[in-house]
Structure 1
Amino acid sequence: MSLRTTTLGELAIAIPGSTALFHKYDLDFCCGGKHTLEEMAAKRGLEIGQLEQELQQLTQQKSEEENWLNAPLSALIEHIINRYHNVHRQQLPDLITMAEKVERVHGAKSACPHGLASTIQAVWQHLSEHMMKEERVLFPMIEQGLGAHAGNPIAVMEFEHNEAGEQLEIIKSLTNNLTPPEGACTTWRALYSGIDQFIKDLMQHIHLENNLLFPRALRGE
């Protein structure tokens, strides 16, 4: 496999641990998963040789991650719902509450992320509707063996994934790439830490759907 000419989505599937590396270098492997490593490295101004070396090291490490390439699609769907959908439903209301508090208490400070609470609220509304459509319509179709006929709803879900990715970029911009200012209070730091975890979870969530679940369903597996 030529690492530099392989898409990020394919690398995320083939090399366990690569997603953490992509997070490290801010490489979008979910919504941007169809772009090659070389393309994304050039976009971010990264040294392609260094990325290839680190990925090569990962291929030599034993992985304890479950291989979702061959797992039944019903098991993958159950994992997505339990590990990501249900977790997002806990994460986002808490993040909204903390963001509202930070904006209320620290609104006079120049580093205050004005508009963050409303942006997270928009993410919550968008994601809630998105997950409901998956759980009520798309996932049952796939579990009933109708994935090969689900091209249209899958295309809609992928489009909404891209929209979510754009919302995450707004959040990063509002928060100075999730960097709390010097002397930030505990709530402020906890807010940014929580957002960071949410973003990592959401990117992994989208990766599993875009790069694993949806292609396998469309192939009629």
Structure 2
Amino acid sequence: MSQLTIETNVSEIVTVLPQSADLFRKLRIDYCCGGKISLREAAEQRELAPIDVLAKVQKMEEKWVSRQSMHPSSFGEKTLVAYIQEKYHESLREELPLLSPYVTKVARVHGERDPHLLKVLEIFNTLRKELIDHTDDEDLNVFPMILKFFENPSEELKYKLRPHVAELEEEHDNTGALFHELREITNHFTPPKDACGTYRLVYARLEQLEKDTFEHVHLENNILFERVKTHLN
């Protein structure tokens, strides 16, 4: 059961549930410099009903918890593909556009003092494009081919699948290298001691993005694609 209440500080809510920053931004609730006040007080300042804002936060939290609670290694192929699409592909399509303005803002505001943030922005923009293109290719082309292959294996599908799986694994390696560089230049996503709330938010969400992406890649490389490759040999 959620420990978040209307008396929880806004800044604490964003620390526990970084995605809630999107909601607060939309509602024009300050979670950064003015975030050291309760959700009740912050909502009332915006003439919003605190209990309604809390309900929105808890709905986001429930969605996040449900995505963390499943154990996909024993799923059949159809369920595993659906799980990857729902938990990771949909999440990427939600998170990357939402996170982009924050990364851009931090680079613009603090890039002169901390020039590595300009590189963070460059890497993030590369990741954003490559991850969306990659997941689109999987959803539209490769995953349907994999499911068709498991339903009715054929030499023709074997021939088609081999280069696709190899290409996806190579793209996963490239993604891993980008995240490694991101982690190195951010000192393992450790913000400066005097960093503002948005700066800290960006680092927290980039680290969460790395975690989710590595879990995503693990499910594909080591479970789904391994099952495919045992039938391709």
**TM norm structure 2:** 0.63
Which letter maps to 2:193?
Answer: E
Q: Supply the distance in 1 between the matched residues of 2:96 and 2:175 (Cα, whole angstroms).
A: 13
Match of 2:226 among 209, 215, 219: 215
Higher relative contact order (CA 8 A, sep 6+): 1
* Residue 198 of structure 1, aligned match among 196, 199, 209: 209
What is the alpha-carbon distance in structure 2 between the residues aligned to residue 72 and residue 215 of structure 1? 13
- How far 1:118 sits from its partner (Å)? 2.0
AA aligned opposite 2:162 = G
> By how many angstroms is 1:151 displaced?
1.6
Residue 66 of structure 1: which of 71, 75, 84 is its match? 71
Whole-angstrom CA distance in 2 between matches of 1:74 and 1:217: 13
Greater share of residues in helix: 2
Tell me, yes or no, if the aligned pair for 1:102 and 1:112 is still in contact at 8 Å. Answer: no
Q: Write the mapping of 1:136-151 to structure 2, written as runs, cut at 5 A.
A: 136-145=140-149, 149=158, 150-151=161-162
For residue 186 of structure 2, the aligned residue among 175, 185, 197 is 175
Structure 2: state its 5+ residue gaps: 1-68
Name which of structure 1's ranges 146-155 and 73-82 shifts more when overlaid on structure 2.
146-155
Please state whether the residue corresponding to 1:113 is helix, strand or coil. Answer: helix
Contact 1:95-1:120 at 8 Å conserved across structures: no
Shift of 1:65: 4.9
2-side partners of 1:90 and 1:82: how far apart? Answer: 11
Amino acid at match of 1:118: E
Partner of residue 127, structure 2: 123
Q: Which entry has the higher C-alpha Rg, 1 or 2?
A: 2
Q: 2:108 aligned with 1:97, yes or no?
A: no
Runs ≥4 residues deviating over 4 A: none
Counterpart AA for 1:215: E
Structure 2 CA distance, aligned partners of 1:143 and 1:130?
18
Q: Aligned AA for 2:129?
A: Q
Deviations 1:88-133 (A, max 9, x none): 1122222221111111111232475222112101101111111111
How many residues in Structure 1 have an aligned counterpart in Structure 2? 157
Q: How far has the Cα of 1:67 moved from its partner?
A: 4.9
In structure 1, what is the Cα distance between the partners aligned to 2:73 and 2:188?
A: 31
CA contact (8 A) 1:178 1:196 kept: yes
Name the CA shift for 1:74/1:104 in 2 (closer, same or farther; >3 Å): same
Identity of aligned residues (%): 31
